[in-house]
Structure 1
Amino acid sequence: MLSALIWIPLLGALLVGFGREPLIPARARLIALLTTGGTFVWTIVLGSQFDVGQAGMQFSEHLTWIEPLGLTYDLGMDGLSLPLVALNGLLTTIAIASGTPSVSRPRLYYILLLLLNASVTAAFLAQNLLLFFLFYEVELIPLYLLIGIWGGANRGYAATKFLIYTAISGILILAAFLGSTLLTGASSFGYEPLLTQALPLGQQFLLLGALLIGFGIKIPLVPFHTWLPDAHVEASTPISVLLAGVLLKLGTYGLLRFGLGLFPEAWAVLAPWLASWAALSVLYGAFMAIAQTDMKKMVAYSSIGHMGYVLLAAAAATPLSLLAAVCQMVSHGLIAAMLFLLVGVVYQKTGTRDLKVLQGLLNPERGLPLIGSLMILGVMASSGLPGMVGFVSEFLVFRGSFPIFPTQTLLSMVGTGLTAVYFLLLVNRVFFGRLSEPVQDLPPVYWSDRAPAMVLGALVLLLGLQPNWLVHYSETTMASLLPARLAIAPTAVVAQPMPKAEIME
């Protein structure tokens, strides 16, 4: 059942690659849309059969692959991976639907998107450390090519920088995985057996440090973030949607699954430092966003700040904060994807993203009134206004983290206020006032331009008004994520699961 989520996109890539000549772009796009849409629907079907009261892996699959290396084809889905797999399927479908129908080299383009979708899903489902690393590295190749071929003027520089950073990330993660298996004497790289193996604290620090830097590059956290703004600015809009909405979540997922899961004792000792690191990333991302004049770069820096909330919640390591981490990953994925889609439409219609040039786009006759309204909705959600999914996730983060790390949580709350500041600057400069002369006589906006952002906007509102649909699947899993062997340290408190009624309040 889980393999279908991986192999259906691969089958779609084969159909695009070996279809009859000539394969027109519209047909390749249709095949890719049907493929990713089908996998998303299949994820919803699996979600309907998911037992929310079970904390362990469900729909598990096992196949011995390369036994001498300890590599097995082990897949499983729990409350941590299910929302992220669904998010990947949804945003990949939206990215394909929002792309230019007449994209150049359509075969290669859609093949790479389908490979990216399959590899990311496989990483979220992998229950073998070596298998996770394999797919973690595989997704690097299509994303590098998607930026390097269909990106902007400096796409070569941005793609190479992304490649170097991610390659270093992979080396550190592989070293930590190899060290975990060798030091515990495990016979394979299976995730479940390693949960019962406790290493000396010094060895845990060494291995956890490698994972923190490796996944910190992917998230990205300060100071390993410099590849992200360049990649976003040069990437096309669909690739920015996937990069912010899905790819960054591989880093936070890895920290929760492998960092906290395998080395809980070391995590408890380092937790105050991790919370401080999170607060630093939140504030740095916010201040850097305020200083930007490029709309896309501003949204890119906002992602750095909002991903810091996930680390803060993970550092607190309470059942509520861990649940909040999942909510924040999904919330950020939806909101960031929506913002990048809207920035892409503005750039496509006006030819610029410069805040010094754009003005008055809410003009109902000659501007982009619906796009501007959706942008206001998106920035309100990102700023954490009640009634939207951003408020739900950030409130849970602060509620779960404040009892453990009050100072770092208060600093992160300042970051939320700064989010409102820089997005207010964006909206005020770009959409209000008199329509600026350089962007007169804009081309028409079609429903194909509006619909993807409208779908995400509806989800942002729906999950904000009915947050139980978001927390329902993850609550049991995240309450039991910490291994039973964890000794409660004074730096981290493992609380009892909170009742649903208190969470909803």
Structure 2
Amino acid sequence: MLSALILVPLVAAIIVGFTKSGQTARTLALSTAGLLFVWTLWLLFQFDLSDTGLQFSEYLTWAEPIGLSYSLGTDGLSMPLLVLNALLTGVVVYSSKANTPRASLYYGLILLVNAGVAGAFLAQNLLLFVLFFELELIPLYLLIAIWGGEKRGYAAMKFLLYTALSGILILAAFLGVAWLSGSFSFDYDSISTENLPLRAQLILLTVLLVGLGIKIPLVPLHTWSPDAYVEASPPVAILLGGILAKLGTYGLVRFGLQMFPNTWEIVAPGLALIGAISVMYGSLNAIAQNDIKRMVAYSSIGHMGYVLVAAAAGTDLSVLGAVAQMVAHGLILALLFNLVGIVEDKVGTRELQLLNGLMNPVRGLPLVSGLLVMAGMASAGIPGLVGFAAEFIVFQGSFPIFPIPTLICILSSGLTAVYFVILLNRTCFGKLNNELAYYDRLTWSERVPALVLSVIILFLGIQPNWLIRWMEPTATMLASTLQPTQEIVAQNVTQR
């Protein structure tokens, strides 16, 4: 059942790649994405909430001499992310322009990215995770380099180098764990770091965290991110921020927190500090931007810092909040990039100084403006929207362990409201230029992705249990391995 999430998009990518008609390629890609979304929803509702272990597991011996096996499984950590991956892939395909050049290659690459991300979320073998982790590298490089903006070559090469380095560091950490532990298999359940010297664990965990920090991205490993997000087309930016970045945060919880429980207490305070710095840095840089797409890119950096603070705390609530924040961030960021792309396409600019009055019901873009207001409110954590539910759980779970970093995150949440008020005030309100403001109306096909994402964001905000119920048992299990860590960190904080 899980192999279908990998094999179907891989086979479809090959078929789409050899399709001569761009419209046929788009139809096939959209049909594949829809099928994958329905399949992940079916798996979600077949998911046993009382089982904290792996479900729907598959295992095949592959390259036994090097410890590589085809081992798949899903739990409450990966299952919601699989649904997010399928949903946003459909949004990306649907929102792509009908006249996209070299459409067969374009849609084929998107499906390859989907397969790579799904495989990484499902992999229960460390080498298999690295293989899928690297599978999306070349497709995304090409998606930026071919269909990106003016500086697409620079942004694509920067993305390629940073992501390649990230994969090398993660592979090095996994090889070190297997070599030092004496394991002949890279299956996740057969590797343990408990008997390794503390110094070796710290070195391996540091290497792993740097590799994952590049992918997340975290300050100061983030410099590839704003350039890649800005130069990528809006649909590809959704792939980068809404889906790809989740590989880093997923690996942080799956491999960092769970594989190194004995050393997590040592690095946790530093991680919480870095997370708080990333949150504040992203917010302050977003306020300073004049390009609304770059503003959203820096906003993404800030919000991913919440996940690091939550994972560092390691309580059951904070781990639950970390996973919820991954999903909420993916939905909100996808909506923002989609709306920014529509504004750029209809108005012809992303510059705040040149945008105003889009809320005008006659000659503006009132629907886009209204949804942009909603997206800004969701990102700022306004109650009733999915961003509030995720951030509240993060803050509630992290505060007892790391009060100061959590307070910095709460303050940054206020700054999120500041830069979105700046964005909305300058783009949606004010007077339209009577000579230039005759914007094309949105077609229904252009409205659908934003409306679907908005409905989901609103529904999960009103009914957050539909978001967290799948994650809670696994989050509790993951945090239980760190209970001694929590007590030690709490004592240290109290003494200080």
Structure 1 length-normalised TM: 0.95
Amino acid across the alignment from 1:446: T
Equivalent residues in 2 for 1:6-45, closer than 5 Å: 6-19=6-19, 23-45=20-42
Equivalent of 2:203, from 202, 206, 231? 206
- Over 3 Å counting, the alpha-carbon distance change for 1:212 and 1:425 in structure 2 is same
Deviation at 1:439, TM superposition (A): 4.2
SS class of match (1:248): helix
1:189-204 matches, within 5 Å, as 189-195=186-192, 197-204=194-201
How much identity, in percent, do the aligned residues show?
A: 58
Task: Map 1:131-210; keep pairs closer than 5 Å.
Answer: 131-195=128-192, 197-210=194-207
Give the Å deviation of 1:99: 0.3
CA offset at residue 436 of structure 1? 3.1
CA–CA distance in 2 between the matches of 1:442 and 1:486? 57
Q: Tell me the number of residue pairs that the alignment of Structure 1 and Structure 2 aligns.
A: 491
Alpha-carbon deviations, 1:325-378, whole Å to 9, x = none?
Answer: 010000000000000000000000011000000000101000000000000000
Q: Does the aligned pair in 1 maintain the 2:230–2:294 contact within 8 Å?
A: yes
Change (3 A) 1:137 1:463: same
User: CA 1:439 to 1:451, structure 2 compared with 1: closer, same or farther past 3 Å?
Assistant: farther
* C-alpha displacement of 1:269: 1.3
Matched ranges for 1:26-105 at <5 A: 26-105=23-102
Kept in 1, the 8 Å contact 2:401–2:486? The answer is no
Give the AA of the match of 2:7: W
Of 260, 264, 273 in structure 2, the residue corresponding to residue 263 of structure 1 is: 260
Confirm or deny that 1:342 pairs with 2:339: yes
What is the CA-CA distance between 1:200 and the residue it aligns to? Answer: 1.9
1:447, distance to aligned residue in structure 2 (A): 1.2
1:369 has 2:373 as partner: no
Q: How do 1:244-393 residues align onto structure 2 when only pairs under 5 Å count?
A: 244-393=241-390
Counterpart in the other structure of 2:469? 472
Distance 1:18 1:188 in 2: 38
The answer to whether the 8 Å contact 1:269/1:489 transfers is: no
Instruction: Give secondary structure in 2 for the equivalent of 1:434.
Output: coil
Alpha carbons of structure 1 residues 68 and 345: separation in structure 2 relative to 1, 3 Å: same
Specify whether residues 44 and 222 from structure 1 end up closer, same or farther in structure 2 by C-alpha distance, changes over 3 A only.
same
Mark the CA change 1:315 to 1:439 in structure 2 (over 3 Å): closer, same or farther.
farther
Distance change (3 Å), C-alpha of 1:134 and 1:439: farther
CA distance in 2, matches of 1:321, 1:166: 28
3-state SS of paired residue (1:481): helix
Q: One-letter code of the match for 1:378?
A: A
Amino acid at match of 1:461: L
Change (3 A) 1:319 1:148: same
Q: Give the whole-Å Cα distance in 1 for the aligned partners of 2:471 and 2:115.
A: 22
Partner of 2:2: 2
SS at match of 2:73: strand
SS at match of 2:263: helix
CA contact (8 A) 1:381 1:389 kept: yes
**Cα distance in 1 between the residues matched to 2:248 and 2:354:** 36
Matched, 1:449 2:414: no
Paired residue type of 2:41? I
Deviations 1:255-284 (A, max 9, x none): 100111111111111111111111000000
Q: CA deviation at 1:198?
A: 3.5
Query: Per the alignment, in what secondary structure is the counterpart of residue 221 of structure 1?
Result: coil
Deviation string, structure 1 residues 65-121 (Cα, Å, up to 9, x no partner):
111110000000000000001000000000000000111011111110010000000
In structure 2, what residue type is equivalent to 1:306?
Answer: H
Q: Residue 364 of structure 1 aligns to a residue in which SS?
A: coil
Query: Which whole-Å CA distance do the structure 2 matches of 1:343 and 1:272 have between them?
Result: 36
| Whole-Å separation in 2 of the counterparts to 1:485 and 1:88 | 29
Please state how far the C-alpha of 1:16 moved relative to its aligned partner. 1.3
Structural RMSD (CA): 1.4
Q: What residue number does 2:494 align with?
A: none
Which residue identity is paired with 1:3?
S
On the 8 A contact 1:246/1:333 being kept in 2, the answer is yes
Alpha carbons of structure 1 residues 276 and 437: separation in structure 2 relative to 1, 3 Å? farther
Where do residues 358-437 of structure 1 align in structure 2 (5 Å cutoff)? 358-436=355-433
Q: CA deviation at 1:14?
A: 2.1
* Cα separation, 1, equivalents of 2:407 and 2:485: 24
Query: For the structure 1 residues 377 and 173, does the alpha-carbon distance in structure 2 shift closer, same or farther, using more than 3 Å as the test?
Result: same
1:357/1:436 contact within 8 Å kept:
no
Deviation of the 1:483 alpha carbon: 6.9
TM-score normalized by structure 2?
0.97
CA distance in 1, matches of 2:275, 2:166: 19
